[in-house]
Every structure is written in C-alpha cells, then in structure tokens.
Amino acid sequence: MPITPYTGPFERAELQHLLRRSLFGCTVADRAHFAGMSLTAVVDELLSFTNDSVPPVRTYTDENGNPDGIDPAVPFGQTWVSTPIVPTNDTDIIELRLRSWAAWWMGQMVDQQRNLREKLTLFWHNHMPTQTAVVYQSEMQYSMNQLLRTQCKGNFRQLIHDVTLEPAMLYYLNGYLNIASAPDENYGRELLELFTLGQGSGYTEEDVQAAARVLTGWTFRQEDENDQPILPQSYFYAPNHTTTDKQFSGFFNNTVIQGQSGANAGETELNVLLDMILATEECPRFICRELYRFFVHGEISEQAEADVIVPLAELFHDNVDAPDQIAIVMRALLTSDHFFSPIIRGCMVKSPVDLVVGDYRLFGFPTPNQALPEARHIVNLEQYWLVAYAGQNLLEPPNVAGWPAYYLYPSYDELWLDTATYPQRNNSLLAVVYGSVETPNNTVLPDNANLEFRVDIVAFAEQLSDPADPNVLIQDLVDLFYVNTISATVKQQLKQQYLLFGQLSDIYWTEAYELYISDPNTTNMTAQLVPEILRWLIGDIQKAAERHIF
C-alpha cells in the first residue's frame, strides 16, 4: 500500500512548514524563491543537488601569529585536506585542522543551498556518528563527513558499505582491532543495533559475534611501505581474517556466510553480510523510522507506523538497488498527507542547529566569502561555538547512538529543552541579533583585519511586506518566527511597547521608520532609534517558547 500523498492547499503556511523541516530555518528569500511552485516541484528542487562543496583552507598560524611556524607542508590559504600531517601524531596541527573543519562545516550550514544536502548530512552524522574525542584525526573526520555529504540521498546499501570501511569508523568502533585471533564485536554490534536493524529487532548475541567474524581483517594505514605519512586509507589484511563459515540465527533465516580466504575475502563476505541484513523486514522499517524521527516527529504512533512507516519501508525495499534510494523515500515522506497534517506542524522542538543556524540564515548574518578566508574562519568558528553553547557540539555527539533527542523514548526532541538549556538557547538567539564578530588587527592577509560582522536589522526588515506599518510588521515577524499565530492582544502589546512607545497612533512608528530609511544619518532622535527598536522588538519575540518549536 503506497503512502497517501498530500492533496490539500499548498500555500505559504505549508511551504514554510516544508522548508523549516528541510532547511535550517526558512528565510524571506527562501519563501520568495519557491512561491507559486507546486509541492512536487519544490520537493524535486530540494532533492536536486550534488556535493559541490569547496574544501576548507588553511587560515591558521602558530601561537605567535607566524603562518610558517606550523603545518609548513600546506601553503597559507590552500586546503589541507589532501596533505598528510607530518608527523601523523602532531596534536598541534591536528587541533588546528579540526577547528578548520568545524568552522568549514558550520559555513556549509549557514550558507546552505536551498536543498536537503546539509540536513541529510547531519541526519547521517547523527545516525552513524564518529566523535572527535575518539577519532582525533582531522583527515579521517573530514573524509567521513564528505562521504556522508556525497551519498546522503543515494543508495543505503552503498552508504553503509562505505561507512563500514571508512578509516574514521574503523578507528572509532575498533574495526581495525578486529582480527581472527581476537574478534572485536564493537562495530558488528552497532552495525546491527544502531545502523541497520535497531535494538530488539530479533537478532541474537550469536549474530553479533558472527558479524564480527565476517568483518575481521579490515584496517587502515597512515604510512606507506617506506614509513612515509599518507592520507588515511582502509585496506584488507587477509591473514587477520576468520576464514571459517559464519552461522546466523533464524532471524536471518539461518544463513551461513561461507568463509573466504585471499585478498578478496573481506569484500566478498561484507557484501553477503549486507545483503543478508537488507533482506530482513526490519532494516527498511528501522531506517524509515529514523528518517521519520529526524524530519517529522519523535514519537511514532500506531497509526503513523501503519500509514507512513510500513509503506515507506516497502518503497525502500522495492528500490534497494536504486542509486537514489533515499531520495525516493524522502520524496514520498515530504509529499505525504501525514507530513502536512495539523498534528505534525509545530510538534517538534528545534535542535540547537535548527535554532541557531536557522536564525543566522533568517537574519542574513554576513558571512565573509572565500576571498576573506581568515575572516570567514573566525566568523564560522564563532557560529560553531554558539551552536555548541545552545546544546549541540557537532564534532562531539554524546555517544555512538548520536543525540538522545532522536532516539530516547518517550521524550525525544523535548530533551533539547529544559530549565538548563532554555536560558542558553535564548541567549544564543539574542547573540545572533545583538552580537557581532570582529577580526583582529594582525591577520596574515591585511584585508581580513579589523572587520566587524553584524546583522543589519534594517535590511532584514526591508525584506518584509510593509515594515513601515507597525501592524503588518508585527504580523510578518509572527508569521516568520512562529508556526501558529499569537493573539491580537499580544500583538497590540508588542506594538504599543516597542513601536509606539506608549503612543496611540500608528503614524508614530511609520514616520520614524520612513525618515530613517530615507536618511540613516538623520538627526531626528526617534528615527535614530529605529534599528535598536527593531532589535528590542525582535529580541522580545525571540524569547517566547513558541520560537523553539517548528
């Protein structure tokens, strides 16, 4: 039974709902770009992308500000991702490259294209995470991130195959220690429990042990045969592989994976293992539940299981060989009647990434372009730490299961918001609107020095339909910030308190705003306050609990 498609109206409210879940926030420009398009056309565009990201570049120096004092193999302003670290355990260089990667990743999110690439990359990073505290190796982590970004909408079997052999994952879950004489079950366990089937799906402890034996012999190297550093690369070492047969339980139809030997043994057995896992009924359902919890809602009701998960799983199964398998599933989910139902709109608490990055995008926080690499790194790194302050350190998922908000019953996304995180989240929102980022005067490239980046709040307001009309201005802000509208009484209070300063006539704001727009250097005292009045108004609207749901 196919999933029921949505056939209702597709107007501004529906478009905003779709974009808030598909992008990090929904800006005025996002809305204008897709206005008038059909639901199918919008989703098709959201799913039309490639990995065209430009790699991070070296903008770091030694502690004295000398660009030649550290990581000399990489010219300043050039990318470091293709140059191995010499020596491989130089923690000073590793730390600087990891910060470079963190800032770069944040830049990908803040400057995201209008498609699902960055949201799906984050989904897979949560689903199959690696922690920098464990994998303290910049090239491994960047490579893993690129794998997820490149294959995020593609074929799941290919993705899990490549993740299994990615050096970062081999290191993170001890795959490189998994040898015939001492099998390590760490990755085999998480492959079944967290990545493909789910805990309690029916596999046994003996299945975990058998999977571990299948995966013996895979490792990675960071030096060549002459002991010279190279970029991390995985390989199969046949003498460390278990060549005997591997017996699986009735959950897998008592499958026996025949033991192989020789150079191709690891690849052969891995492919049989993955085919066996994907042939189960539980694998498609588990992946579709994970997608649902990330993009739709944490709790899956019995009706949602029957009406959404089951048909999506059938679609997943029917397209098991399709190169765009995940895109096919996502298209069905995002165009479904269930996705646009009233109970789904405004039902989720925003993750810190959705909350903070969404605000950076909404207000158009100025991000330096590639021509100002040092300034760009400084701004993006500040943005990264603000997201971490709000509760989500991207390079450090809590554990191999990812963030609890995506799996911990019964609270799920409500875990993002509590008495400890609420003030931090609000402060982060205020920091976007009120804060600024400044570059030092001693940058290596002179044109990157002494720059200040801050939201142009008037330019943001000018995007709205009629910012000179206080009633329209407040309604436009409410439409942008909240899923549901607020009462006329609250809107009147906001207008009186911030835009009219207690006056009765709307002309008080209209005249001040229009005077400021015509002459930002005006000497009129009320008009001079227009930018700050807008910040005060927006800051108050930002503090409402409704700002944290989408």
- 70 and 93 in contact (C-beta within 8 Å)? yes
Range 34-38 average pLDDT:
98
Residue 432 has pLDDT above 90, yes or no: yes
CA-to-CA distance for 213 and 216, rounded, in angstroms? 5
- Going through 117-245 in order, the beta strands assigned E by DSSP cover 218-223, 229-236
CA-to-CA distance for 409 and 130, rounded, in angstroms? 23
Banded pLDDT at 514 (limits 50, 70, 90): very high
Q: Which residues pair with 5 in a beta bridge?
A: 336
- Going through 280-388 in order, the beta strands assigned E by DSSP cover none
Residue 240 has pLDDT above 90, yes or no: yes
Percent of the chain with pLDDT over 90: 97
Residue 64 has pLDDT above 80, yes or no: yes
Cα 182 from chain centroid?
36
Range 346-373 average pLDDT:
97
What is the structure's pLDDT at 462?
98
What is the structure's pLDDT at 56?
98
What is the structure's pLDDT at 501?
83
Banded pLDDT at 503 (limits 50, 70, 90): confident
Range 139-146 average pLDDT:
98
109 by Cβ neighbours in 10 Å (0-12 / 13-18 / 19+) ranks as: buried
CA-to-CA distance for 546 and 347, rounded, in angstroms? 11
What is the structure's pLDDT at 76?
97
- Mean pLDDT for the chain? 97
- 519 and 513 in contact (C-beta within 8 Å)? no
Alpha helices of 454-520 — where are they, by DSSP H? 457-462, 470-481, 488-494, 507-518
What is the structure's pLDDT at 341?
97
Q: What is the pLDDT of residues 189-228, one digit of tens each?
A: 999 999 999 999 999 999 999 999 999 999 999 999 998 9
Percent of the chain with pLDDT over 70: 100
Residue 235 has pLDDT above 90, yes or no: yes
- For 454, the enclosing helix (H) or strand (E) is strand 452-454
Angle among Cα 470, 474, 478 to the nearest 5 degrees reads 170
Residue 501 tokens read as 């300063």
Residue 1 has pLDDT above 90, yes or no: no
Residue 502 has pLDDT above 90, yes or no: no
Q: Could you check whether the bond before residue 239 is cis, i.e. omega within 30 degrees of 0?
A: no
Q: Which residue has the tokens 């450090």?
A: 396
Spatial neighbors of 408 by CB under 8 A, at least 6 apart, are: 415
CA-to-CA distance for 44 and 332, rounded, in angstroms? 11
What is the structure's pLDDT at 504?
87
Q: What is the pLDDT of residues 175-186, one digit of tens each?
A: 999 999 999 999
Q: What is the pTM of this model?
A: 0.97
According to DSSP, the β-strands at 436-438 and 229-236 are unpaired
Residue 327 has pLDDT above 90, yes or no: yes
* DSSP state for residue 356 in the 8-state scheme: I
